[in-house]
Structure 1
């Protein structure tokens, strides 16, 4: 029998976020087929622009795992229970409040941006004897994200502007969306490349870039090749060196974290595989021309 991972296995490091989300998408798709999946959609827009609630330029999609997510919005309050899906339409004002279940809370939060599918695991523990918070973030680049984005937009419009949010069309669109996201996770953009070793190398980087131990040597060991051979092959195939590529991936992850998560810079650095904030800030400024704090302020000002 295939092992069923829990979100606590992400916290302990037994499973990666990518693998766990693949499992979660499959489970929610199965529930949709059986007519058992609860989907809640928030879509009220504030035309005045004067709301004190949070406004996100992109749709959010949540998979509630433990505890409840109490969301205040223009239409009232929506409570999301474990096993339910929540979709918040782009620019729909809202505020979240997490409610513990036996001192635990967890959800998966995802969004789509251009050719990128971003996903985050958010775990809270109310027991002060244990680590209070754990966040894992990853992304997959794939041109199929454009189609998934259109499905999500159509689902939001159908659910919020139609007569019945539980109508057949809404559920059909939700099932199609989950299947498309599963395809995206299973077939990153570089999957059609000629050399399978480079493909596997890129997959390992995507899945492990949060780890400070991710190096050319560690990747080569997992692929059972010499580090020099891997570096030379990667340069020949990609016209860039492997170390700068790893840094580039980590900086892309850093931008997504700073854009979407309200956490300290030290925590963002750790999620990107940097043990020290100062070194993270130095690398980020060299790449982006500004510090992480300046980048976050610029993104918020543009919303």
Structure 2
């Protein structure tokens, strides 16, 4: 298990992450839809099913993103113009800030929702765990606002770090304990130096690039670069040391393969993270857990 994967709620829960599930494919006609953006938050009440547009006549699925997908500016702009999201953000960050206080981190509610909100760079340069708690709180705020406007989702999908918010949204963890788990994960990741690079190519081509760059290995050592995530048949993420990733990116440029370094200072989803993953799992298991109110699917574990 990688540090981004969360232990399942338990066999009594309908949302146990080890359960076999059918893949959830958002935004496919006739299927549940992942709602994103501020436009869907304008209503303060759940619409009658007869008044909903066709794509909302089935309960939606909420997607909780991983760390590379967090935009502070989008949250701040939406909270300023959307009363439902602003109210949800204030409520969520009141609970999150009980955890920032106990763990010596800056209060996020007044900072994010105040007149001079931080940039993503400012959050990243703050105390360890600050950016992770900001993402966790933002995800929970959007979920709460969407649920208020359109009803509780039929299911949730967590992408890596987003699994924590997805489980919290389903009621497995309280908001405070979900925030504590997010900070625990941030601390675990400090022992995983390195970085991640997204490659616009199939998995096989990515492995060929690693060989060409001379950095491919068995994946058991921290010095190896590995294919860490397969998003789809045209997109993968590789993980490893910064210097080695630079060689991969050069090889990709020579082949005219798109390569983007993610703004994350650690080698998430790397096989060498086994010890950190076990420590994180031990920390998370200490928090009380309840049966989930709706199914939670993991993009990592199913």
TM-score w.r.t. structure 1 length? 0.24
Q: Give the structure with the higher percent strand.
A: 1
Higher RCO (CA < 8 A, seq sep 6+): 2
